[in-house]
């Protein structure tokens, strides 16, 4: 599917080792329908040749601000006006610093000043360079200027270090590029989403938890961001990378999640309570590790505050979507929670069925309102999330219209 059909992308390639990935990036962008024109810095040509990128792009590669032939038609201004997006990948610490400073002493930096198109930067550098205060200050400044930062990723680097600094994989950049041009029908909405499990400490080394992986909540966050929403993701402990573009708030216990949720929903339009929150916590957490001195051990539990129910009690509450993971009588229990907790919608699934729900990449949901229900058939959670976000928005808009 050509999700970037007729989109005009200027790819800025700078002098980092990750430049070797750019021919594949160009090819993949073109496979999705984009017209790609490449601009190279002098440093980039030490890693990849202009001829290689010209061959895969099918367009002349620009590498000089002072190209007399190109500048007969003010080539740099032409490129700046032509672009629907300027994507700099890899973006070295040097080019990030020069763009931040507003320099215009080469073609790429000049384009960034002369364009009205969105600018996207995919950082690529040594992990220590990424964490340097100067780099972080530059990144903060660029974000304030509405420059989009994709990455960096984490892992082993060419120098042997391990950490943040790798350019995102080509697949990730292509996906983000496709998502960038998707209809932003959630523009001006703020979604607060809870995801993952909570952990209730028994002693310093043990806790009570559940099987939630967080995949469904993270998929919803990604789908909402893709549709243009501002997203605050309140997450319990998971082994997932946060969707690019969200505000991530990490918590451990149900009490912490309750506090952060109530604090952040004040300005939200929509609250999605997808987390598998522990219903109970330990009444008295042992200060030292409990030893196996007895055959039996009793742990007293007390009930946790119900996050989604407490959000629903707010005077100026957002549009509220709950989740119900059930093993039997799914519709009966889901509708009961919907009415009892005063929710707008509830998404229910049968976690007793193999291949869906906890820890699975797939899921199937039924979305209930007070008057109807909609089935979302078994599919990958990313696909489920996209459908769910669209359905939630339709119900939200209907409620807003009623008011």
Q: In whole angstroms, what is the distance from residue 164 CA to residue 128 CA?
A: 8
Q: In whole angstroms, what is the distance from residue 50 CA to residue 398 CA?
A: 53
Q: In whole angstroms, what is the distance from residue 362 CA to residue 385 CA?
A: 11
- List, in sequence order, every beta strand (DSSP E) within 79-182: 85-91, 119-123, 148-149, 153-156, 162-166
Q: In whole angstroms, what is the distance from residue 233 CA to residue 92 CA?
A: 29
Q: In whole angstroms, what is the distance from residue 142 CA to residue 224 CA?
A: 23
What amino acid positions are annotated as catalytic residues?
159
Residue of 290, 323, 6, 56 lying closest to 196 (CA atoms): 323
Residue of 267, 268, 169, 277 lying closest to 224 (CA atoms): 268
Q: How far from 11 is each of 23, 93, 163, CA to CA, in Å?
A: 11, 17, 25
| 338, 340, 344, 349 alpha-carbon torsion, rounded to 10° | -20
The gap from C-alpha 381 to its chain's centroid, in whole angstroms, comes to: 14
Q: In whole angstroms, what is the distance from residue 307 CA to residue 352 CA?
A: 24
């Amino acid at each position: 599917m050509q999700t970037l059909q007729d989109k005009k992308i200027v790819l800025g390639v700078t002098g980092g080792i990750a430049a070797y990935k750019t021919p594949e990036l160009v090819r993949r962008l073109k496979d999705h329908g984009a017209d790609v024109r490449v601009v190279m810095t002098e440093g980039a040509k030490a890693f990849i040749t202009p001829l290689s990128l010209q061959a895969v792009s099918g367009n002349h590669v620009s590498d000089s601000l002072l190209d007399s032939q190109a500048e007969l038609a003010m080539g740099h201004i032409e490129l700046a006006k032509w672009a629907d997006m300027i994507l700099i990948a890899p973006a070295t610490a040097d080019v990030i610093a020069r763009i931040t400073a507003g320099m215009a002493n080469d073609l790429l930096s000049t384009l960034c000043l002369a364009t009205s198109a969105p600018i996207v930067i995919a950082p690529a550098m040594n992990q220590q360079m990424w964490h340097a205060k100067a780099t972080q200050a530059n990144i903060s400044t660029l974000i304030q200027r509405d420059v989009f930062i994709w990455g960096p990723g984490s892992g082993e680097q060419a120098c042997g270090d391990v950490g943040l600094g790798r350019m995102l994989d080509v697949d990730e950049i292509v996906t983000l590029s496709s998502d960038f041009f998707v209809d932003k029908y959630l523009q001006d909405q703020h979604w607060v989403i809870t995801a993952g499990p909570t952990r209730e400490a028994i002693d310093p080394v043990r806790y009570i938890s559940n099987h939630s992986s967080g995949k469904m909540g993270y998929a919803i966050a990604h789908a909402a961001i893709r549709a243009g929403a501002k997203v605050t993701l309140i997450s319990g402990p998971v082994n997932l990378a946060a969707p690019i573009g969200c505000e991530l708030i990490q918590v451990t216990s149900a009490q912490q999640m309750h506090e952060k949720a109530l604090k952040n929903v004040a300005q939200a339009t929509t609250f999605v309570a997808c987390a598998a929150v522990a219903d109970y916590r330990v009444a008295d957490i042992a200060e030292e590790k409990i030893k196996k001195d007895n055959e039996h051990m009793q742990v007293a539990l007390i009930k946790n505050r119900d996050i989604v129910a407490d959000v629903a009690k707010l005077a100026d509450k957002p549009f509220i979507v709950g989740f119900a993971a059930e093993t039997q009588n799914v519709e009966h229990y889901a509708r009961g929670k919907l009415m009892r907790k005063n929710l707008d919608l509830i998404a229910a699934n049968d976690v007793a069925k193999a291949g869906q729900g906890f820890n699975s990449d797939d899921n199937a949901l039924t979305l209930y309102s007070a008057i109807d229900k909609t089935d979302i058939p078994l599919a990958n959670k990313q696909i489920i999330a996209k459908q769910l976000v669209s359905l939630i928005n339709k119900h939200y808009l209907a409620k807003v219209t009623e008011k």
